[in-house]
Amino acid sequence: MAKEIERKYLVVSDSYRRMACGSRKILQAYLNRDPRATVRVRIADDRAYLTVKGRNEGAVRDEWEYEIPVEDSLHMIERCASGTVIEKTRWLVDFGGRRWEIDEFGGLRSGLVVAEVELPSAEAEVELPPFVGEEVTGDERYYNSSL
């Protein structure tokens, strides 16, 4: 069983764009939003994934992710999604020896920008890049499944 350990922050400037080493377009939807087991389907550029995440315990939670055919993911989004589909651009920034993922949301969530960093342990130190502000790790309002 895999563990996802990440911290999440609100973004206060667009300086991440100049720092980015890449970006990708993401379309995702939730098939189940129960906090005990959220189920998400995501298309990132030309690849698709089905992901199951367990309940958060601070910055840690169980996670299982499987690559699936893009065509299947489109059918799941069309036929099985609960709530609205999330559109975002994910910017990738290397800073302080870590890979940061900055999500610029579009559509109904346009204007929301959140940065996440995955960690090897919940106690790992994090050097914050200049574009991050308030930490929102564990704040359910900023879970993608809540958006």
Band of the pLDDT at 142, cuts 50, 70, 90? confident
Higher pLDDT, 109 or 94: 94
Given 16, 30, 49, 142, which residue is catalytic? 30
Which residues make Cβ contacts (< 8 Å) with residue 57, sequence separation at least 6?
none
Q: What's the total number of domains in the chain?
A: 1
Range of the domain at 110: 2-146
Residue 35: which pLDDT band, with cuts at 50, 70 and 90?
Answer: confident
Residue 30 falls in the annotated catalytic set? yes
pLDDT at 1: 60
Find the CATH number of the domain harbouring 137: 2.40.320.10
Burial of 7 (0-12, 13-18, 19+ CB in 10 A): buried
